[in-house]
DNA sequence: AATAGTAAGGAAGGTCTACTAACAAATATG
DNA sequence: CATATTTGTTAGTAGACCTTCCTTACTATT
């Protein structure tokens, strides 16, 4: 059984193959650092001739440069190192997850934040948010010290492949072609993705997570998840993959002895017992408010158990390698995580749980932001 | 955000592009039936010239043939229909799901069973099963009336992309390179896949299920699932995706008022309360044995509720379009399915549940068998 | 019946891409 | 110092698809 697409889709022109090979070279340089042309040839399976040709074209485009002779005295002609230029471009990224402020940044090739700017939303919705977003992007573009490769936006809501926000109730956006609007205003390539999907891309690219079975769980005002399988983002039938926040986890019929968790709460979505009613920053803060440490740990553990119960079927169905959580570490990193992992191990078979890790992100608060940058790298250069 | 692979993998040679385009043409003919070259050009985006060239090469290989003029008097030169030859080849498929018998068949291009043969396992394990399998395949190859394109095998267990069975405890197979062994013995291409994965391929190709969010749940001695997302089979980090049978669903701490379900049972895997302890043919038969119809319906509904609870996180995380069940309809198709679907709708948000269907297979018992045939079609021709 | 318009399919020629083969340059090793 | 090894380039070849132009065959109109 091969891992290729089951159903061939779309024609492949020579130029597409060329772009693919360029991406392979960039990808290798991006993750491995400077190497020789001969090494690139061995890594990609292409010939040295073809690699030389590709490198020349990448040099012409200013993306890579020669970096002198490789150290280490081996037999044969010394290799010339080729590496990504760190002054080739920068990327503008904006994270719209927060309901109060838009957080933006200029990042360099390696995902390091060079400049930050934020704008308060001040209760704006709809077109006014789009206006404010464009303004913030203009400011950030002006702050960039090199060419801006593109703009990446991580937004809550359901977003399709073209960067149209199908629905984002918190911003009062419905069928808003956000990518097209911002791109039109700035004259730059713009890529828009769901914030949880951006977060998972951030983990994949900058967090060192596994490309063949990764789920990134973002806990903020609500809960969202992004999933990468076999190196591909899972979009879902209607672009709504990862909507784990409104799965029922507290059931009035169960849990009579799960005293710490209490009764099912009504959720903002109108239903009862959703994951978000227990696993969100406000809900967790309410839960631990005024409790002494031991009691707080028990309370967080009971939420962790529910998380484990929800994740167990997902982890089993997909045979995931990594689950990465982001959000306030003081709430998530301790008993909540430990209990979630223990519950996952209890409730899945060994072949599944043995290969699994559940951990906090190493990207801090910038998961979605750097993921938005990855949207640009991936969309413009095929690098992630 | 594009749907392309985030990380470019593997070089693309011109011959690969050519093979891809050949597959596109075959795929279109396979699903749409005979069409003109001009229609193929419009459908694929390739030019009429290129399509003519591809069709010529497919004719040379005996896979397609001209079928005379297209009916319907429109302006212009009448089109010549091109179609898949139904005498081009046949496929041999074997389903090893059953612990008692190996079920094999010869199928034509369109997945119709032409001949069937079965062999009792008689308690054999290990190499003896491989021997018996090879024998059955030989018989089936001899029964074929046209060239045999290849052999497809659907087996329980964890199977990697090369067709090596990493572990299949029921057959006492560990690290058995089954595809290589059978291929060596028969001199034919052999593709081996997990039985649940084969079943989902069967649903995809012959069951008309959605390619962008499909889960096929197979209920037999145990429970297995195969998943197709964005037209690709989900393999999992360690090739164990779909192992839903041993997720805990009955919890001694919960369910106090879920009287019909009873206490958690010990599972063959040594843990307690696995899905398989309530959702498997033996477990379901035990549960309804001796019950009158109403009581049986209540008992089946309680299992359906558990199934819904397990599926809710998976369906939400992946935003699935179709969940297709196979197994004994008298157990699965009634209250069990209805309750599972109702529970799914209760426990997921509308954007998820509105796009979801949960239904019985239309392929009867032959899901895995025809899926094994799809392994061959997909592997040899790129058609599914 | 003659003419115009439309569509299918094929032939010729050009471009792009990556390959193979052969070679020059530069170094370590015996 | 001669030889083996490795890097990177040059030159030529082959595959695949494209654009352009042409013939064929049919419908619609005068």
Helix H, strand E, coil C: the string for A22-65 is HHHHHHHHHHHCCEEHHHHHHHHCCCHHHHHHHHHHHHHCCCEE
Question: What's the confidence (pLDDT) of residue B244?
Answer: 96
**Residues of chain B with C-beta less than 8 angstroms from the C-beta of A248:** 312, 346-348
Nearest Cα residue in chain A from B165: A1
How crowded is residue B159: how many other Cβ atoms within 10 Å of its Cβ?
29
Give, rounded to a whole angstrom, the gap between the first and last alpha carbons of chain B: 26
Within-domain flag for A266:
yes
**Positive or negative CA dihedral for A359, A360, A366, A368?**
positive
Nearest Cα residue in chain A from B24: A8
The vertex-A23 CA angle with A41 and A363, nearest 5°, equals 110
Q: Please tell me the distance from the alpha carbon of residue A149 to that of residue A89, in angstroms, as a whole number.
A: 6
Name the residue closest to C18, CA to C1'. Answer: A50
Q: Please tell me the distance from the alpha carbon of residue A227 to that of residue A321, in angstroms, as a whole number.
A: 11
B360 phi and psi, to 5 degrees?
Answer: -80, 155
Question: What's the confidence (pLDDT) of residue A174?
Answer: 96
**Residues of chain A with C-beta less than 8 angstroms from the C-beta of B321:** 237
Among the partner-chain residues B9, B21, B191, the one whose CB lies closest to the CB of A1 is B191
Instruction: For residues A80 and A102, state if they share a domain.
Output: no
pLDDT higher than 80, residue A252: no
Name the residue closest to C7, CA to C1'. Answer: B76
Within-domain flag for B6:
no
Q: Could you tell me which residues are beta bridge partners of residue A153? A: A94, A192
Query: Would you give the DSSP letter of residue B248?
Result: B
Of A24-28, A347-351, B56-60, B296-300, the poorest mean pLDDT is in B56-60
Question: What's the confidence (pLDDT) of residue A307?
Answer: 97
Confidence of residue A259 (pLDDT cuts 50, 70, 90): low
Question: What's the confidence (pLDDT) of residue A356?
Answer: 97
Confidence of residue B11 (pLDDT cuts 50, 70, 90): confident
- CATH number of the structural domain spanning residue A57: 1.10.10.10
A337 phi and psi, to 5 degrees?
Answer: -60, -45
Instruction: For residues A60 and A103, state if they share a domain.
Output: no
- Residue B71 CA, nucleotide D21 C1', distance (Å): 28
CA neighbours within 13 Å on the CB side: how many for B237? 24
Instruction: For residues A219 and A357, state if they share a domain.
Output: yes
| B116-166 per-position pLDDT tens digit | 999 999 999 999 999 999 999 999 999 999 999 999 999 999 999 999 999
Compare A252 and B181 and report the one with higher pLDDT.
B181
Q: B186: which 2 tokens?
A: 């028969």
Within-domain flag for B150:
yes
- Positions on chain D within 7 A of a protein C-beta: 4-11, 15-20, 24-28
Query: Which residues constitute the domain of residue A261?
Result: 210-361
Instruction: For residues A103 and A193, state if they share a domain.
Output: yes
Within-domain flag for A191:
yes
Question: What's the confidence (pLDDT) of residue B263?
Answer: 79
Question: What's the confidence (pLDDT) of residue A264?
Answer: 84
> What mean pLDDT do residues A5-10 have?
75
Q: Please tell me the distance from the alpha carbon of residue A156 to that of residue A176, in angstroms, as a whole number.
A: 13
Within-domain flag for A1:
no
Among B35, B51, B84, give the residue marking a domain's end.
Answer: B84
Confidence of residue B178 (pLDDT cuts 50, 70, 90): very high
**Residues of chain B with C-beta less than 8 angstroms from the C-beta of A352:** 240, 243, 246
Q: Please tell me the distance from the alpha carbon of residue A153 to that of residue A156, in angstroms, as a whole number.
A: 10
Question: What's the confidence (pLDDT) of residue A256?
Answer: 43
The vertex-A321 CA angle with A316 and A325, nearest 5°, equals 95
Cα distances (angstroms) measured from residue A227 to each of A192, A318, A321, A368, B160: 17, 10, 11, 13, 22
Nearest Cα residue in chain A from B153: A1
Name the residue closest to C6, CA to C1'. Answer: B76
Among B38, B64, B84, give the residue marking a domain's end.
Answer: B84
**Residues of chain A with C-beta less than 8 angstroms from the C-beta of B314:** 313-314, 317
- Residue A230 CA, nucleotide D12 C1', distance (Å): 40
> What mean pLDDT do residues B77-90 have?
90
Confidence of residue B112 (pLDDT cuts 50, 70, 90): very high
- CATH number of the structural domain spanning residue B239: 3.30.420.40
**Residues of chain A with C-beta less than 8 angstroms from the C-beta of B45:** 10-11
Question: What's the confidence (pLDDT) of residue B15?
Answer: 83
A179 phi and psi, to 5 degrees?
Answer: -60, -45
Q: Share the mean pLDDT of chain A.
A: 93
Q: Please tell me the distance from the alpha carbon of residue B64 to that of residue B53, in angstroms, as a whole number.
A: 13
Q: Which of A298, A309, A294 is nearest to A248 (CA)?
A: A309
Question: What's the confidence (pLDDT) of residue A251?
Answer: 80
Question: What's the confidence (pLDDT) of residue B119?
Answer: 96
Question: What's the confidence (pLDDT) of residue A162?
Answer: 95
pLDDT higher than 70, residue A253: no
pLDDT higher than 50, residue B1: no
The vertex-A322 CA angle with B199 and A235, nearest 5°, equals 55
Mutation to test the B interface, candidates A211, A230, A272, A277, most B Cβ within 10 Å: A230
pLDDT higher than 90, residue A334: yes
pLDDT higher than 60, residue A274: yes
Q: Where are the beta strands (DSSP E) in chain B?
A: 35-36, 64-69, 80-84, 90-95, 101-107, 113-120, 148-155, 158-159, 165-168, 173-176, 190-194, 214-219, 223-229, 232-233, 322-326, 357-360
Q: A224: which 2 tokens?
A: 């969202």
**Residues of chain B with C-beta less than 8 angstroms from the C-beta of A231:** 5-7, 9
Question: What's the confidence (pLDDT) of residue B253?
Answer: 64
CB contact under 8 A, B318 and A243: no
Instruction: For residues B98 and B185, state if they share a domain.
Output: yes
Q: Please tell me the distance from the alpha carbon of residue A234 to that of residue B160, in angstroms, as a whole number.
A: 22
Residues contacting residue A141 through CB under 8 Å, at least 6 positions apart: A92, A148, A151, A186, A188
Residues contacting residue A185 through CB under 8 Å, at least 6 positions apart: A134, A137, A138
Confidence of residue B34 (pLDDT cuts 50, 70, 90): very high
Q: Please tell me the distance from the alpha carbon of residue A204 to that of residue A321, in angstroms, as a whole number.
A: 12
Q: How far is A66 from chain B (nearest CA, A)?
A: 23
Instruction: For residues B221 and B322, state if they share a domain.
Output: yes
Instruction: For residues A130 and A98, state if they share a domain.
Output: yes
Name the residue closest to C16, CA to C1'. Answer: A14
In percent, the amount of chain A with pLDDT more than 90 equals 86
| A93-127 per-position pLDDT tens digit | 999 999 999 999 999 999 999 999 999 999 999 99
CA neighbours within 13 Å on the CB side: how many for B319? 21
- Residue A11 CA, nucleotide C14 C1', distance (Å): 21
Which residue is it, tokens 């032409």? B114
Confidence of residue A260 (pLDDT cuts 50, 70, 90): low
Confidence of residue B229 (pLDDT cuts 50, 70, 90): very high
> What mean pLDDT do residues B295-305 have?
95
- Residue B76 CA, nucleotide C1 C1', distance (Å): 20
How crowded is residue A235: how many other Cβ atoms within 10 Å of its Cβ?
25
Question: What's the confidence (pLDDT) of residue B180?
Answer: 98
Question: What's the confidence (pLDDT) of residue B13?
Answer: 83
- Residue A80 CA, nucleotide D5 C1', distance (Å): 16
Query: Would you give the DSSP letter of residue B12?
Result: -
| B240-284 per-position pLDDT tens digit | 999 999 999 988 665 444 556 777 888 888 898 999 999 999 999
List residues with CB under 7 Å of strand C.
A 14-15, 17-18, 21, 45-47, 49-50, 53-54, 69, 73-78; B 11-14, 36-39, 48-49, 52, 55, 74-80
Nearest Cα residue in chain B from A318: B241
Q: What is the dihedral of CA A347, A352, A357, A358, to 10 degrees?
A: -30
Instruction: For residues A222 and A339, state if they share a domain.
Output: yes
Question: What's the confidence (pLDDT) of residue B264?
Answer: 84
Q: Please tell me the distance from the alpha carbon of residue A375 to that of residue A92, in angstroms, as a whole number.
A: 11
- Residue A42 CA, nucleotide D5 C1', distance (Å): 16
Q: A246: which 2 tokens?
A: 């409104």
CB contact under 8 A, B349 and A269: yes
Confidence of residue A14 (pLDDT cuts 50, 70, 90): confident
How crowded is residue B223: how many other Cβ atoms within 10 Å of its Cβ?
27
Instruction: For residues A43 and A63, state if they share a domain.
Output: yes
**Positive or negative CA dihedral for A182, A185, A186, A187?**
positive
Question: What's the confidence (pLDDT) of residue B213?
Answer: 96
Instruction: For residues B157 and B234, state if they share a domain.
Output: no
Q: Could you tell me which residues are beta bridge partners of residue A247? A: none
Residues contacting residue A367 through CB under 8 Å, at least 6 positions apart: A198, A199, A202, A203, A207, A216, A218, A326, A361
Name the residue closest to D25, CA to C1'. Answer: B77
> What mean pLDDT do residues A194-210 have?
96
**Residues of chain B with C-beta less than 8 angstroms from the C-beta of A197:** 1
- Residue B166 CA, nucleotide D5 C1', distance (Å): 41
Residues contacting residue B96 through CB under 8 Å, at least 6 positions apart: B102, B129, B133, B153, B154, B155, B156, B171, B195
Question: What's the confidence (pLDDT) of residue B193?
Answer: 97
Instruction: For residues A223 and A351, state if they share a domain.
Output: yes
| B326-365 per-position pLDDT tens digit | 999 999 999 999 999 999 999 999 999 999 999 999 999 9
Within-domain flag for A38:
yes
Confidence of residue A13 (pLDDT cuts 50, 70, 90): confident
Nearest Cα residue in chain B from A320: B237
pLDDT higher than 70, residue A379: yes
Q: Share the mean pLDDT of chain B.
A: 92
Nearest Cα residue in chain A from B3: A161
Domains held by chain A: number: 3
Among A56, A84, A112, give the residue marking a domain's end.
Answer: A84
Instruction: For residues B132 and B185, state if they share a domain.
Output: yes
> What mean pLDDT do residues B53-62 have?
90
Within-domain flag for A205:
no
Q: How many CB pairs under 8 A join A and B?
A: 271
Within-domain flag for A9:
no
């Amino acid at each position: 059984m091969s891992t290729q697409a089951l159903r061939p889709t779309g024609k492949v022109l020579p130029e597409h193959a060329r772009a693919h090979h360029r991406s392979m070279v960039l990808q290798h340089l991006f993750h491995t650092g400077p190497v020789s042309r001969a090494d690139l040839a061995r890594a990609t399976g292409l010939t040295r001739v073809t690699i030389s040709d590709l490198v020349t074209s990448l040099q012409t485009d200013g993306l890579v440069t020669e970096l002198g002779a490789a150290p280490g005295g081996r037999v044969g002609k010394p290799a010339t190192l080729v590496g990504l230029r760190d002054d080739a471009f920068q990327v503008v990224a904006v994270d719209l997850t927060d309901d109060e402020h838009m957080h933006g940044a200029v990042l360099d090739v390696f995902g390091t934040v060079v400049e930050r700017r934020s704008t308060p939303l001040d209760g704006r919705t709809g077109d006014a948010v789009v206006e404010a977003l464009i303004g913030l992007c203009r400011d950030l573009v002006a702050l960039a010290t090199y060419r801006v490769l593109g703009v990446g936006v991580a937004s809550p809501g359901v977003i399709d492949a073209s960067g149209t926000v199908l629905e984002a109730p918190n911003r009062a956006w419905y069928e808003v072609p956000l990518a097209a609007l911002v791109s039109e205003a700035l004259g730059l390539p713009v890529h828009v993705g769901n914030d949880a999907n951006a977060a998972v891309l951030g983990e994949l690219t900058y967090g060192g997570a596994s490309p063949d079975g990764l789920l990134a769980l973002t806990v903020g005002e609500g809960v969202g998840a992004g999933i990468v399988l076999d190196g591909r983002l899972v979009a879902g039938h209607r672009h709504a993959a990862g909507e784990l926040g409104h799965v029922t986890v507290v059931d009035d019929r169960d849990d009579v002895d799960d005293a710490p968790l209490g009764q099912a709460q009504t959720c903002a979505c109108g239903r009862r017992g959703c994951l978000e009613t227990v696993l969100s920053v406000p809900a967790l803060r309410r839960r631990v408010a005024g409790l002494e440490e031991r009691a707080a740990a028990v309370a967080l553990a009971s939420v962790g158990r529910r998380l484990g119960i929800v994740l167990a079927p997902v982890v089993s169905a997909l045979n995931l390698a990594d689950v990465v959580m982001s959000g306030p570490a003081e709430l998530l990193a301790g008993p909540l995580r430990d209990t979630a992992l223990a519950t996952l191990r209890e409730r899945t078979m060994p072949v599944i749980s043995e290969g699994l890790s559940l951990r906090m992100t190493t990207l801090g608060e910038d998961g979605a932001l750097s993921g938005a940058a990855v949207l640009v790298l991936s969309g413009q250069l095929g690098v992630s």
